Chains A and B, each alone.
Chain A
Amino acid sequence: MSSPAMQVRTRIPRIAEVAVEKARLTVVPRRRRPAGRAPFLALVSMVLLAGVIGLLLFNTSMQQASFTTTALEQQADRLAARQQSLEMELEQLRDPQRIASAAQRLGMVQACSPAFLRLGTGKVSGAPCTSGPANALQINPKAPAKPAILNPPATVVTVDPPAAGTDTANSSADTERGNPDRAARNGKKKNNR
């Protein structure tokens, strides 16, 4: 098996022995170049450092933004709540009942039937009128009836008529007749007794 190879080997030098001799590989000592290492390391650490610091700064700013977001969101919530409260207050002020009682306090009354003045012709349509008690609108409910215990009958003390002549007696009888309220009250008083 080796003989043909040997033949080849031996054949080549014959053709170009000098060139083959020149081209033969030899082990050479490795050349060391320590000079290039430092700048490279510096560069890498710079990049690393820059990356780390950049990331840190980025994170910090994100965190800062998050603080701001939280604060602003809280502020927005507060303001939204305030707006709603104010709107609610406004609506309560617009309550027709409140306006009506305010108007009544100012002495305003409900209008009677509507009438129109046409500016073009100067004609009045409808029946203009002055509002009166008939048009009054009662805007508050009647006060509920008090229970009897809170609404006792008036205490009336009947004073015996002064004992005198018949004239005075007659006149007092007249007054009593002429004043049914008092007569009734007297009657009630008697019943109470």
Chain B
Amino acid sequence: MPSPTPPPSTGIRRGSPAVRLRIGFLVIAIALSVFAARLVQLQGLDPNSYAQMAAAEGTVKVDLPAERGDILDRNGRPLADSVSGMMVVADPELTYKNATELAAFLYKKLDVDYVSTLAKLRERGSRFEYIARRVPATLATEVVEEADRKDLKGLDTRRDPLRSYPAGDVAANLVGFIGTDEPLAGLERTFDKQLSGTDGSERYEVGGGNRIPLGESATTEPVNGQDLKTTIDEDLQWFAQRAVRQAVEAAGAESGFAVVMDRRSGDPLAVADDPTYDANDPTESPKADLGSRALQDVYEPGSVEKVLTASSLIDLGVVTPRTPIIVPSQLRREDRPINDWFPHGTLHLTLAGVIAKSSNIGTVLAADEFKQGQLHDYLSNFGLGQKTDIGVRGETKGLLPAAATWTHQMQDRIAFGQSLAVNGVQMAAAINTIANDGVRVSPSLIRGSATTDEGQVVGSDHATRSRVVSAKAARQTALMMERVVDPEVGVAPGAAVPGYRIAGKTGTAQRVGAECQCYDGTNTVSFAGFAPADDPKFTIYVVVQNPRNGGGGGSVAGPVFSKIMSYTLRRYGVPPTGTPPSRLPVEW
């Protein structure tokens, strides 16, 4: 380039402002395009992840746990109760030094096992160990604070909801229990959705452990679970459970249960099972005891069913309580003989006598008046062979053979309560039909209304009433049943409650063994009845499976009935009606 030319217009000189300017612009342009590229990358290609990273800085998200609804008895007392609980956890790296001291302290305060706790506190390489789970929150916080004061560092608490069953084994078979994370049995599981509610959450920014005001925050309020009201009466349930257990132990029986029903509403006031379990510690009991035998076990009702046969016959108008029946010592039906439970010659019994003495032969002879299918329809109307749907999962529907499959022999056996199977609440509801002037009320364990997790709506709001037999037939049956507890003519004087008119019926049925699928020589003994007989308030049904002391319905189940009935009448203040008892003739 020619250097001497002075004017700038002619050429470009090195170091001239124009050159500097251009180079400068170029540099700026390069820098800007880098920025632009970065901008496109940040804003155009992946904007969300950066936004999230920015938001996560200093933002905490906490769950707002919904409180699980309580399960209440009919008086509002909790059978299952939610308590805010915490778990106590330890960081072994911090607890390692003072492990022995801390373990002794925890043993004293939280009643945890010393040796295993010590091992956890000394665990190498771990930074998180569970020390105690489901501890009431107050206790957990106190313990950790006290440990801090004693300079025993390394403990912490986390939320861990606690479910408490204040009455332990009372109604445990119905209520069920909760495992480590989820409900495992009973109402807890059936109504889990309703009880658990919906957890909420909250997101907000924090600084130094405190919430930044005006910072970003979002809250989803939790929806607490709804309480579940049952028809169970806690004290009565307790009494019934103890009475049944006493009888089961005394008779060396396998199991037993009692159902107490309010006659008018059909509400079960108690469904007492034995053996039962402690709902606070269900793992201590065998798995077979964790359900409700009153609803899940199927068995043949035996002679208690004769009440249904007799009331159906009276309803048809083909017999009356005074109908004379000649009862031979043995009845041959086709190829099989039918015997009574007691040896006798030919007896001249009325229908009332047949019931009072629980004669199979007399019942079969009376049941001959049924036309094909009539007994089946009556039993089906009484609710046999159908689930009661009271809200307990795994309920059996029993076994009522279809009308088309009935043979004569089968009808004979069904007439006195064999060859068909029921569950306890089903049978109690059937007997309650007699007490309730022939109108069957579908039982409901839930007060009001509730929806199971499967979407089934149950509860006393949906109870149905249907007439099965006429009021007259029901009352006449009740009069016949009163003769059962008569000390002179009846078979179960032990079921009487002195001063009251009691109507009842015993049952001693052959049991089908699980292995041989045949009658294995063991029995199901039972007693069903209601009181006061002329104005029934309560129906009680007691069943004891396989008493090994050779007792029958009258001697094993009868006294339990009497005990529970007398407690129930006293508890609800039901005075005797004071009317003269039934004097129906049993013989002619």
Contacts and interface: CB of A to CB of B under 8 A. Distances in A.
Interface string B160-186: 000010111110000000000000000
Give 9 nearest A-B pairs by CB, closest first. Answer: A91-B166, A127-B499, A81-B137, A126-B499, A127-B498, A114-B570, A96-B238, A62-B213, A116-B575
Contacts of B227: none
B242 A85 contact: no
Contact of B210 (A66, A80, A127, A138): A66
Interface in A108-156: 110-116, 125-127, 129, 135, 137-139, 141-142
Residues of B contacting A: mostly: mixed
A125 B242 contact: no
A182 interface: no
A82 interface: yes
Interface of B: 77-78, 81-84, 136-139, 141, 164, 166-170, 209-214, 234-235, 238-239, 242-243, 245-246, 249, 497-500, 563, 566-567, 569-570, 574-576, 578
A63 B210 contact: yes
Interface residues of A, number: 41
A81 B500 contact: no
B84 A112 contact: no
A69 interface: yes
A81 B141 contact: yes
A174 interface: no
Contact of B167 (A69, A96, A129): A96
A80 B497 CA distance: 48
A66 B563 CA distance: 62
A109 to B, nearest CB: 13
Interface in A51-85: 59, 62-63, 65-67, 69-70, 77-78, 80-82, 84-85
B213 A113 contact: no
A97 B499 CA distance: 29
Contact of B212 (A66, A111, A142): A66
5 contacts: A78-B138, A81-B136, A97-B170, A113-B566, A125-B578
A47 B512 CA distance: 96
Nearest to A123: B578
Contacts of B214: 62
Given A113-B497, A126-B500, 5 more contacts: A91-B81, A91-B167, A97-B167, A111-B570, A114-B497
Nearest to B575: A116
Contact of A95 (B84, B166, B567): B166
Contact of A126 (B141, B212, B235, B576): B576
A154 B120 CA distance: 44
Contacts of B166: 88, 91-92, 94-95
A91 B569 CA distance: 25
Contact of A141 (B84, B164, B170, B245): B245
Contact of A82 (B138, B243, B497, B500): B138
Contacts of B570: 111, 114
A17 interface: no
Contacts of B78: 91
A39 B166 CA distance: 77
A176 interface: no
**Which of A87, A115, A139, A141 is packed against the most chain B CB atoms within 10 Å?**
A141
A84 B83 contact: yes
Given A88-B166, A141-B249, A114 B212 contact: no
A173 B357 CA distance: 52
A44 B138 CA distance: 57
Nearest to A65: B213
A66 B211 contact: yes
A130 to B, nearest CB: 12
Contacts of A94: 77, 166
Given A113-B566, A137-B242, A142-B249, A84 B84 contact: yes
Nearest to A68: B210
Nearest to A136: B246
Contacts of A59: 213
Nearest to A137: B242
Contacts of A69: 211
Contacts of A85: 83, 136-139
A48 B308 CA distance: 95
B238 A113 contact: no
B569 A63 contact: no
A135 B242 CA distance: 12
Contacts of B576: 116, 125-126
B154 to A, nearest CB: 22
A66 B214 CA distance: 10
Contacts of A65: 213
Nearest to A79: B138
A84 B243 contact: no
B500 A96 contact: no
A80 B137 CA distance: 10
B395 to A, nearest CB: 26
Given A66-B213, A88-B164, A92-B166, A113 B81 contact: no
B575 A95 contact: no
B483 to A, nearest CB: 19
B499 A125 contact: yes
Chain A CB within 10 A, most for which of B82, B243, B498, B499: B499
A103 B435 CA distance: 35
Contacts of A62: 213-214
A142 B242 CA distance: 11
A100 B212 CA distance: 55
Contacts of B246: 137-138
B311 to A, nearest CB: 28
Contacts of B500: 113, 126
B238 A87 contact: no
A96 B234 contact: yes
A97 B168 contact: yes
